[in-house]
Amino acid sequence: MNIAHIRAVVRRETAELLRSRAIFMTMTIVPSVLVAVSLLTEHAILQTPDAAFRFDTTMPELLERFAADGLDPKTAVLVLINEQFLTMLLIVATALPSTIASHTVINEKVERTLEPLLATPIATSDLLFGKTVVSIVPGVILTWIAYGATLYGFHEMSPPIVFASATRAVWPLAFTMLTPLVAMTSALTSIVVSSRVNDPRTAQGLAGFLVIPLLGMGISALLGAVTINAIWVFYSAAALLLANIGLLALASRLFSRETILTRWR
């Protein structure tokens, strides 16, 4: 890869993105709503009498491991709900970058601003990697901000043992390692699809089908089928890294510069 070419693409794409304020407004909705819902749910549970929670009636299968740790039913529910909301924040990182990634190719096709760039000697992989970087940065930052806001709310409302569970080392590790990789997978998938279609909504829809395995991994953790720990994070990060390398190679192969230059004249 040519670092100078990638930097030039990043500067160009960033300038274009900063002109699209509507995209930023749209991107903030999902994480903002998720943070609000998580904190409101936390507040509602805290206001509910302790007697309303029992291990044998309140999600018994999911709460078995918490009973073994000596937690009372209400505390166990708080820990479980918080972990599920944090898992959902990780899943959100798949949705945010696809909006930018699908627009960055398709809108340039329609507006014919992609042609001068494709006529330069820049390598396709450098071009797509630069576009991917710009696509994922806003989503990653928003996810991290939402994570910080959620932790702050938990700190202000939750009992110490509940907050300690939400801040144990695996969560910062997961958000640091997985969020950029998840976002990159989503962005590269959208770019692969966008190179073959001419409508952003179609691209996002098709990309959504292609990241179903990724969503399935997050939903499995959400439902308690797998436990999020350091081993799970490292294996997931390795799988995502390999997937992203493959997706970048596939995107570079499918991104036909000559076809785009002639089809959109």
Report the distance separating Cα 257 and Cα 41, nearest Å.
50
Q: Where is pLDDT greater, at 262 or 227?
A: 227
Residue 244 in tokens: 């992203």
Report the share of the chain in percent with pLDDT over 70: 69
* pTM across the whole model: 0.79
pLDDT at 112 over 50: yes
CA torsion 46-50-55-61 (nearest 10°) is -10
Q: Tell me the mean pLDDT in the region 1-27.
A: 75
pLDDT of residue 260 exceeding 60, the answer is: no
**What is the spatial distance between Cα 176 and Cα 163, in angstroms, rounded to a whole number?**
19
Query: In terms of DSSP H, where are the helices of 19-95?
Result: 21-47, 60-68, 73-92
Determine the average pLDDT of the residues in 169-174. 90
- Identify the pLDDT of residue 265: 45
Q: Is the pLDDT of residue 61 over 80?
A: no
Residue-wise pLDDT tens digits, 192-245: 777 766 665 666 566 556 556 655 655 665 565 556 788 888 988 998 899 899
For residue 238 the two structure tokens come to 């390795």
> What is the distance between the alpha carbons of residues 217 and 149, in angstroms, rounded to a whole number?
24
